[in-house]
Structure 1
Amino acid sequence: MSTELRDRFFALSNGQAPADEIARYRAEVDVTDTEPATTLDGLAISWHPTARFKAVRFIDAERIDEGVRERFARPSEPAPHLAAVFVDPRELSFRTFENIVPLDRWFAGAQGSPPELELTEAVELTKDAYASTLRLPDADRARLEGLDALNLYVPPLNAATRGGERFIFHSALLAEALTEAVAKAMPKPLLDGFSHVNPVFRCNRFEPGDSHFHRHRDTPYYDAARGHVSRYTVLLYLTGGSGDPALDLIGGTAVEDIESFTCVIFDQRYEHEGAPFREGRKVFLRTELIFAEAPEVTHDPEIGAQFSKACYLTGESVFAPELARHADAYYNQVSAAHWNGLALDDAAREPYVHKQFRGVHFVANGYDFWFGKSDTLSLAECAAITLLDYFNCKLGETAFRDLCESAVIEAEDQAWIPAFLNDKTKTKDKDRSKPESKDTGNGSGNVGTPAVAPFDKSALFPESELTDDVCCPFHQFPQFDPTRFDEVVDLNERAQSFAKAHIMPAPILMLGEDVVLDPEKFVIRGNQIHVLGKESLTPVNFAACWNSGGVPGNYIDVAATVGAAHFLVPPIVFSETEDGYHLQFDFFRNTWMVKHQQATVPVPRISSLAELDLYELEEGASEPWLEAVDPSIVDGGSGKRPTPWWADSSPLLDELYDYVSDYEYEHYGEDEDDEDDDEDDGAGEEGAGGA
């Protein structure tokens, strides 16, 4: 049945199926509920549509787990390396809104060479706008023309304002070829500071009669770390035709007739719009020219605030379509502000989202987050909920957005919010005073318990038992106690150090559907909340008679799987009144995109083997904790450094036995026996890594 649903989806996607047949198919999908096949980039994925998994994406098939890879369709015959997956729209966040399809394989020539492209000398259309013609060999022309036939189009999030269809793809090879062509064809003054063509392309398709691509400005690309900014938009028309007009640069010029393989490059200050061709399909690529940052570039915090609102409301608009027009307006304000300063309409009504998470009411717009004050709600808890909401983190297998009740409210100002939340908080506290009252949020939780509870993470890592002097499980069977055997205890402590290095710095942990926080990671200084964590997950550094009866790894089981959320965010500005808290997040600061990492970490514990099968152990039994951290441990790794005699070498065991972790060094000091251990292991100075 699932395979049939998968295949019928693509059979009905050609736009020619009768409406009643499509309606019947959608009804079948809406009553289909299956578990995800696997996860990718933090998103659960299915190989066929279901009531939950309705958004189709195209990815490199090699990124899918090999065990289920063949179940996913390869709907694009010309590009068989692409697999179609279905995701849950409720799990999307600003990091995963768009599906960027990898297409370097499509454009690779002999020995992976880039296409051979040449642009004719640019002709000025109007001030800071130019046109030229792309010349290229037949094979490369066929690749560009063939993009339309790949059938990778998906409805854009802002479909109501842009018209047509599009897909986004990445090709460093095409960008490399265009960079060289632009450098030769464009006027020298335009190229001052020119670095490269952006390798992310948008392929747009319009049929006659489609809605116009509404009047807008392109949001400039900006990368503060590299000092890069885009200044010119590049439009490469793969088909030719006439429109009313086909391209209108507001205040500059209007182009009615466009030949195929015309390349138009114009300053991103221009507002522009375009109509479909009167006859024939209109297909064009859009990207931009990237320049080294100019001295005149400045940074306006209010632009970052508007951009945060736009991103946040884009995600919310998936299930509240009325927010799409507001998000689009914010994007246009931001785009204009990059060139002309920020101009806000004071009379415009703004959208807000009222949410309830496990009894906590708050109002958000993507930059401002308001919370009502109560005796049970701390400032750290407000900060944690804001992070979970903004990044739409997953609690267990459920996206935060799914655990909230939400409603959109439009208002002319923010004055109503404190009284509104104060009323909701009083109602909640009144209800919670009744023994029979229940939490009205979608999430689990008992009455009176915090929505995000503080948690002592050291409870996950109990101290080891005293070891005895037994020889091995074979000679002590059946009285063998793995919790007191020195080599099992040693491996468990190393595994604990491994897990601690990931878990202890995390400000927020996910324990199944429960979420807890470490109050010490939310530091309040003045009017700022600093969220502490580690910038990235780094390698964890750590510094015999084993007869039949297994090896230590058989006895180290997984006590719990903990989701550790590490955030790299700017300080959170807050203000406090008698009624509540007002938090403000400038994630983008108009210069940079915030990062965050969410990972699952298995916590080790020592377990007994209930029925010790000596013959099974001789052939290699399960090593649950080691396998949970690194599934490749089953087949042995490729590490080159020595590990205990009982284990095959693997990167994980290399980490456990060759280095002392930063966490371990900081909290326990240097191991006095490290030199001897390294000498015994034969690791030498290089293997010790300065332990």
Structure 2
Amino acid sequence: MSTGLRDRFFALSSGEASAEEAARYRAEVDANHAGPAAVVDGLSVSWHPTARFKSVRFVEADRIDAAVRDSFARPSAEAPYLAAVFVDPLELSFRTFENILPLDHLFAEAAAGFELTGREEVAEGAYTFSLRLPGPARAALEGLDSLGLYVPPLNAASRGGDRFIFHSALLAEALTGAVAKALPEPLLDGFSHVNPVFRCNRFEPGDANFHRHLDTPYYDGARGHVSRYTVLLYLTGGSGDPVLDLSGGAALTEIAPFTCVLFDQRYEHEGAPYRDGRKVFLRTELVFTDPGTGHDPEIGALFSKACYLTGESVFAPELARHADDYYDRVARAHWNGLAPGPDREPFVHKRFGGVDYVANGYDFWFPESGELSLAECAAITLMDYFNCRIGETSFRARCDSEVIEAEDTAWIPGFLRERSGGSAVPPFDKSLLFPEPERPVADAEMPCCSFHGMDGMDTTRSEEVIDCYIEAQEEAKAEVMPAPILILGEEAVLDPDRFAVQGNRIHVLGKSALAPVNFAACQGPGFASGDFVDTATTVGAVDLLVPPILFTESEGCYHLRFDFFRNSWTAGHQEQTAALIPVIRPLEESDFHFDEDDYYDEDEYDEEDEEEEEDEE
């Protein structure tokens, strides 16, 4: 039955099924409550859709447990190393929203000889080109549409069509060389490369438009890299009303196959399907070295809110429009400064265990009570932001949530005082996971083999076994002891010593991995000391590499502020009020009116002043 659900999914995805058949299939999926088959990237995965696992993704097959790997479909003959998995949308977080596929091998022998010709400036900062390229490269690009890797985007309500995201350094390198030869010289100042992450978009006639929006610029603070231009490479040609509309700039109604459009990312734009066929295009950006960027913390805060609300929109779809608005405001702010937003903004009131709190993705408010420590507030903030798994359930799915829209934050302290409760992430002494070994007994020797038996043998007193036990413990300690948060079965606990409060900052001490820790076990032929050291339990060690969390205490509340992305960069800009901008004109004789008394007092002007004036001359 599960194999049938898997295979019919891909058959129906080809668009050959009637509406009635598709409805029957959805009903079967909703009635199937099978559990996960494996875990990849922290996500539970199934090889077929179920009532819980409905979002399809593609992962490298060798990352799936070998025991179940063959059950997962390989829908792409050109990329047989990719397996289709189904995930629970409630488990997604910013780490797993996007599914970036490695497709460099497709261009191993084809990414050379690219040339952009026929440059035409269709608006200020917007250009069109024709892409000339060898036959193998053309075939490789045209073949992207037939890979069977398309999925609906997370924000499908605002962008229409289907897409997949892939990485190809070879394709980016070939385009980088072509761009460097084709762009006007002034635009090449600081140009570094074409971003190797591409979005392959497909629209059919009748699909919804890709709504008017601004592209969020790429930024790498460590390298001083920022994107300035969007690149659209149309793999198919067609016409639309218009196909691409750059607000205040060009409106392109006809597109030829392998047309490349470059435009300044300050342009708001909208895309429409072709009237007469399938529209397929790639989107990436030109990256420049720009070490002169400034920073505005409010932009970073708004971006953090946008990411958070994207995840929350899985639970509350009404938040999607707020997230889209935040992304657009951030994109504008990078170039023009942060403009005022709407009068009301969304907040999410949550209850996790015995703790009520309010969050918007950057600010997290908790009631200040004797039972709730700053370390616990920080732990809940992190588990919420990263949507950590507790047992088999995502953090956010364990919360009772409601969306509240308000004009300001003044209501929050009183709201939380009425709901102040207990604790949800208790402290835990991690040393309890590592009991001391037994003392060795001199005559407790290892049996030579299973044939000679173990009658009367106490392996826990064997010096060899104890040495192996201690070695295994040390390996586990190296993973568990630095972790600020542990997942013990269905419960989250914290180590208060890994949360250091200094001034108005909470420093989270730990490593940078999020993975289950397996207490060592050994197996092999015959007997060895490791045969007598087994796994007692597994512990989820949430090791996080995060910036400090800022906090304040006021009106009976802890107010935590967390910006993981630090996406606060801003290009140099200057704001002026229109009334203060001078309009220049030449002065005429009639403009000069003065009285000598306004400039000097005759009684005070003496010979000494006259001598000093002559010296200056």
Q: Which residue of 2 aligns with 1:391?
A: 386
Unaligned runs of 5+ in 2: 518-524, 570-617
Amino acid in structure 2 at the alignment position of 1:377: L
Equivalent position amino acid for 2:74 in 1: R
Within a 5 Å distance, the mapping from 1:92-111 to structure 2 comes to 92-109=92-109
Instruction: Indicate which of 216, 221, 230 corresponds to 2:218.
Output: 221
Distance between the aligned counterparts of 1:151 and 1:66, measured in 2?
Answer: 24
Instruction: Report the Cα offset of residue 512 of structure 1.
Output: 0.9
**1:364 counterpart = 2:359:** yes
Separation in 1, partners of 2:432, 2:185: 65
SS in 2 for 1:218: coil
3-state SS of the aligned residue for 1:219?
A: coil
Contact 1:299/1:589 (8 A) holds in 2: no
CA distance in 1, matches of 2:227, 2:405: 34
Per the alignment, residue 429 of structure 2 pairs with 456
The answer on whether the counterparts of 1:157 and 1:318 sit within 8 Å (CA) in structure 2 is no
CA positional deviation for 1:225: 2.0
2:337 matched residue in structure 1: 341
- The equivalent residue for 1:525 is 502
CA contact (8 A) 2:300 2:566 kept: yes
Contact 1:47 1:85 in 2 (8 A): yes
Counterpart amino acid of 2:335? W
Select which of 175, 178, 191 maps to 2:175. Answer: 178
1:268-307 to 2 correspondences below 5 Å: 268-295=265-292, 297-307=293-303
Q: Confirm or deny that 1:153 pairs with 2:130.
A: no
**Deviation at 1:115?**
4.5
Tell me the equivalent position of 2:120: 123
Shift of 1:95: 0.7
Matched residue of 1:122: which SS?
strand
Q: Tell me, yes or no, if the aligned pair for 1:32 and 1:50 is still in contact at 8 Å.
A: yes
Paired with 1:449 and 1:336, the residues of 2 have a C-alpha distance of 42
Displacement after TM superposition at 1:307 (Å): 0.5
Distance 2:83 2:544 in 1: 31
Alpha-carbon distance in structure 1 between the residues aligned to 2:180 and 2:268: 25
Match of 1:323 among 302, 315, 319: 319
Q: Quick one: which amino acid aligns to residue 13 of structure 2?
A: S
Q: 1:99 to 1:537 in 2, by over 3 A?
A: closer
State the Cα distance separating 1:294 from its structure 2 match: 3.3
Q: Which position in structure 2 is the counterpart of 1:76?
A: 76
Q: Show structure 1 runs of 5+ residues with no match.
A: 426-447, 541-547, 593-691
Q: Does residue 469 of the first structure (1) align with residue 464 of the second (2)?
A: no
2-side partners of 1:591 and 1:555: how far apart? 54
Secondary structure, counterpart of 2:51 in structure 1: coil
Which of the residues 333, 337, 354 maps onto 2:349?
354
The aligned residue for residue 412 of structure 1 is: 407
Q: Secondary structure at the match of 1:22?
A: helix
Instruction: For 2:361 and 2:7, locate their aligned partners in 1 and report how far apart those are by CA, in whole Å.
Output: 39
The residue number in structure 2 matching 1:312 is 308
Q: Distance in 1 between matches of 2:60 and 2:526?
A: 43
Code of the aligned partner of 1:422: R
**How far apart in 2 are the matches of 1:312 and 1:145?**
36
Query: What SS does the aligned partner of 2:536 have?
Result: strand
SS of 2:543's equivalent in the other structure is: strand
Deviation at 1:82, TM superposition (A): 2.4
User: How far apart, in 2, do the equivalents of 1:504 and 1:363 lie?
Assistant: 30
Residue 298 to residue 453, structure 1, CA distance change in 2 (3 Å):
same
**CA pair 77-477 structure 1, distance change in 2 beyond 3 A:** closer
Aligned partners of 1:471 and 1:485: how far apart in 2?
5
CA distance in structure 2 between the aligned counterparts of 1:5 and 1:534, rounded to whole angstroms: 40
Provide closer, same or farther for how the CA distance between residues 78 and 567 of structure 1 changes in structure 2, counting only shifts above 3 A.
Answer: closer
Alpha-carbon RMSD across the aligned residues, in angstroms, is: 2.1
Deviations 1:529-573 (A, max 9, x none): 1111135699x9xxxxxxx97211101111221111111111111
Q: Which residue of 2 aligns with 1:31?
A: 31
Structure 2 counterpart of 1:378: 373
Residue 488 in structure 1 maps to residue 485 in structure 2: no
Q: Deviations over 1:269-301 (max 9, x none)?
A: 111112222222221110001112332x11111
Instruction: For 2:490, give the aligned amino acid.
Output: E
- Aligned-partner residue type, residue 550 of structure 2: V
Describe the SS at the equivalent of 2:418: helix
Aligned 8 A contact 1:237 1:261 in 2: yes
Aligned to 2:547, the other structure's residue is in SS state coil
* Percent identity between the two aligned chains: 68
Aligned counterpart, 2:42? 42
For 2:315, what is the secondary structure of its paired residue?
coil
**CA–CA separation in structure 1 for the residues paired with 2:82 and 2:514:** 30
**Deviations 1:577-598, CA, capped at 9 Å, x for gaps:** 2422111112122269xxxxxx
Matched, 1:568 2:568: no
Deviation at 1:257, TM superposition (A): 1.4
**2:189 counterpart letter in structure 1:** D
Distance 2:514 2:157 in 1: 40
Deviations 1:506-530 (A, max 9, x none): 1111111111101111111121111
3-state SS in 1 of match to 2:65: coil
3-state secondary structure, aligned to 1:215: strand
Q: For the residues of structure 2 that align with 1:282 and 1:251, how far apart are their CA atoms?
A: 24
Q: CA deviation at 1:61?
A: 2.5
**Secondary structure at the counterpart of residue 431 of structure 2:** helix
- CA offsets per residue over residues 39-98 of structure 1, 9 Å max, x none? 111111111001111100122323323332221112233433322110111111001001
Give per-residue Cα distances to partners, 1:397-440, cap 9 Å, x unaligned: 22111211111111122121111111122xxxxxxxxxxxxxxx
The CA deviation string for residues 430-468 of structure 1, in whole angstroms up to 9 with x for no partner, is xxxxxxxxxxxxxxxxxx973101011111112222211
- Superposed CA deviations along residues 341-397 of structure 1, whole A, max 9, x for unmatched, are 01122x432111111111211111100111123331111111101100000001122
How many angstroms does 1:123 deviate by? 2.3
In 2: Cα distance, 1:240 partner to 1:555 partner:
67
Residue pair 2:43, 2:87 contacting (<8 A) in 1 also: yes
Find 2:418's aligned residue among 416, 423, 436: 423
Alignment partner, residue 230 of structure 1: 227
1:251 equivalent in structure 2:
248
1:207/1:474 Cα in 2 relative to 1: closer, same or farther (>3 Å)?
closer
1:57 paired with 2:57, answer yes
Distance 1:586 1:461 in 2: 35
CA distance in 1 between counterparts of 2:526 and 2:143 reads 61
**Which residue of the other structure, out of 485, 499, 513, is the alignment partner of 1:508?**
485
**Contact 2:167 2:198 (C-alpha < 8 Å) held by counterparts:** yes
Cα distance in 1 between the residues matched to 2:20 and 2:504: 58
TM-score (norm 2): 0.87
Mapped partners of 1:131, 1:380: distance in 2: 54
User: Separation in 1 of the partners of 2:343 and 2:243?
Assistant: 32
- Give the 3 Å change call, closer, same or farther, for CA 531–327 of structure 1 in structure 2: same
Moved more, 254-263 or 273-282: 273-282
Structure 2 CA distance, aligned partners of 1:392 and 1:367? 14
Q: What is the one-letter code of the residue matched to 1:38?
A: A
Q: Which has the larger radius of gyration?
A: 2
> 2:297·2:568 contact (CA, 8 Å) conserved in 1?
no
Of the structure 1 ranges 412-421 and 361-370, higher mean CA displacement relative to structure 2 is found in 412-421
CA distance in 2, matches of 1:23, 1:399: 29
Is contact 1:121–1:185 with CA below 8 Å preserved after alignment?
Answer: no
Is 1:558 aligned to 2:535, yes or no? yes
* Aligned CA distance change for structure 1 residues 114 and 158 (closer, same or farther; 3 Å): same
Q: Quick check: 1:104–1:171 contact (8 Å CA) kept in 2?
A: yes
Specify the SS of the correspondent of 2:387: coil
**CA separation of 1:386 and 1:336: change in aligned 2, threshold 3 A:** same
**Aligned partners of 1:121 and 1:186 also within 8 Å:** no
1:454 maps to a residue whose letter is: P
Q: Which letter does structure 2 place at the counterpart of 1:322?
A: E
